[in-house]
């Protein structure tokens, strides 16, 4: 093989390497730009998941009440995930809304640990889509009833892949049955045992607020108080803070909790940003 042949062969190899590197460079540049945009973003959504047998319409009254008592109205985006993991959207996030509500529901919203695992997977499909379509670097989560179980399973099994791009700040669960209908904490369900086993995967910076209804001294009418309280075995000493709150008075039974005035007040206090009183604008700062 003469020198000219060697030269042509090397030149051809260099050209091929350059051509192959162009897509990688373009992808890397796009990825870096996306991360730069995300890091500067002020968008901080509250992502809500309803319980079993409930749809994305579950929180309509709750959001309506919140919008009456906040500085700015929060826009609402609703996502329904089918059994085939296809996403259906309704509503939208307004351009200047930095704190929208995003509600994720499921076509198959049945009860049971097996289905909760499926719903956590579907939640991840929806969350991944949100990450690709909206630039936010932090969010708060809210789950009513089994919605809190879905969030917990998702945090232990899926969240780590997003932690560097979008941090969860707070999780609020409402009437969440961590031990299902079991009243005796000594009788741990498989789900509770699994949650406790996987708790080391929970984000250390997370703040958790666990709310339970006080219709009577034992339950909210459906979920035993001891089942909600079992959440402490999952979160205590694993996350930054764990706070248990009992909601009493009118609308303290399980199905009415999302409309309860105390619940709305707690959401406003702990999940939403507080107005900056030192500046006469509608800008808001985190608490």
pLDDT score at 221: 81
250 or 39, greater pLDDT: 250
Residues 85 and 124 in one domain: yes
pTM confidence score:
0.84
Average pLDDT, the chain: 87
Residues 267 and 195 in one domain: yes
Using DSSP bridges, classify how beta strands 241-247 and 207-213 pair: parallel, antiparallel or unpaired: parallel
25 or 141, greater pLDDT: 141
Q: Give the contacts of 138 (CB within 8 A, at least 6 positions apart).
A: 44, 166, 167, 168, 169
Residues 175 and 53 in one domain: yes
Residues 157 and 188 in one domain: yes
Q: Is residue 280 part of a domain?
A: no
For 44, 117, 180, 259, 265, the CA distances from 120, given in Å and listed in that order, are 21, 5, 17, 25, 28
Specify the residue for token string 């089918």: 82
Residues 125 and 24 in one domain: no
Residues 18 and 127 in one domain: no
Share of the chain above pLDDT 90, in %: 70
| Phi, psi angle pair for 223, to nearest 5° | -95, 125
The domain total for the chain is 2
Using DSSP bridges, classify how beta strands 87-91 and 207-213 pair: parallel, antiparallel or unpaired: unpaired
Q: Is residue 254 part of a domain?
A: yes
Query: Domain holding 247: CATH number?
Result: 3.40.50.1820
Helix orientation angle between 146-157 and 190-197, rounded to the nearest 10 degrees = 40
Q: Span 74-103, mean pLDDT?
A: 96
Residue 171 pLDDT greater than 80, yes or no = yes
Specify the residue for token string 């309803």: 50
Q: Span 176-191, mean pLDDT?
A: 96
- Quote the CA–CA distance of 243 and 229 in Å, as a whole number: 10
217 pLDDT band, cuts 50/70/90, is: low
Question: Two tokens at 85?
Answer: 């993991």
DSSP string, 5-23: HHHHHHHHHHHHHHHHHHH
Q: Is residue 281 part of a domain?
A: no
- Quote the CA–CA distance of 264 and 172 in Å, as a whole number: 12
Residues 229 and 133 in one domain: yes
Residues 51 and 25 in one domain: no
Q: Is residue 197 part of a domain?
A: yes
35 or 48, greater pLDDT: 48
Q: Is residue 286 part of a domain?
A: no
- Quote the CA–CA distance of 49 and 144 in Å, as a whole number: 7
Q: Is residue 246 part of a domain?
A: yes
Residues 10 and 130 in one domain: no
**Domain range spanning residue 8?**
1-40
Residues 12 and 70 in one domain: no
- Quote the CA–CA distance of 102 and 142 in Å, as a whole number: 10
Residues 115 and 227 in one domain: yes
3-state secondary structure of 251: coil
Of 17-26, 165-174, 233-242, least confident by mean pLDDT is 17-26
pLDDT score at 20: 67
């Amino acid at each position: 093989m003469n020198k000219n042949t060697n030269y042509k062969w090397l030149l051809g190899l260099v050209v091929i390497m350059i051509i192959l590197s162009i897509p990688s460079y373009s992808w890397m540049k796009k990825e870096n730009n996306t991360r730069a945009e995300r890091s500067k973003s002020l968008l901080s959504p509250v992502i809500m998941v309803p319980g079993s047998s409930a749809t994305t319409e579950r929180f309509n009254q709750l959001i309506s009440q919140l919008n009456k008592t906040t500085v700015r109205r929060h826009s609402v985006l609703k996502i329904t995930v089918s059994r085939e993991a296809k996403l259906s959207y309704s509503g939208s996030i307004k351009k200047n809304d930095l704190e929208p509500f995003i509600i994720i529901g499921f076509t198959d919203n049945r009860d049971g640990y097996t289905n909760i695992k499926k719903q956590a997977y579907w939640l991840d499909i929806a969350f991944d889509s949100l990450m690709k379509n909206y630039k936010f670097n932090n969010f708060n989560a809210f789950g009513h009833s089994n919605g809190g179980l879905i969030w917990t399973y998702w945090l232990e099994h899926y969240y780590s892949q997003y932690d560097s791009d979008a941090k969860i700040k707070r999780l609020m669960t409402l009437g969440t049955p961590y031990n299902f209908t079991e009243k005796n904490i000594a009788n741990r369900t498989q789900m509770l045992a699994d949650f406790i086993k996987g708790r080391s995967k929970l984000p250390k910076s997370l703040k958790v607020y666990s709310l339970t209804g006080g219709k009577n001294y034992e339950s909210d009418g459906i979920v035993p108080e001891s089942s909600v309280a079992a959440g402490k075995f999952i979160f205590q000493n694993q996350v930054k803070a764990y706070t248990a709150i009992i909601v009493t008075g009118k609308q303290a039974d399980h199905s009415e909790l999302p409309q309860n005035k105390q619940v709305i007040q707690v959401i406003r206090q702990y999940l939403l940003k507080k107005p900056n009183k030192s500046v006469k604008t509608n800008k808001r700062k985190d608490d």
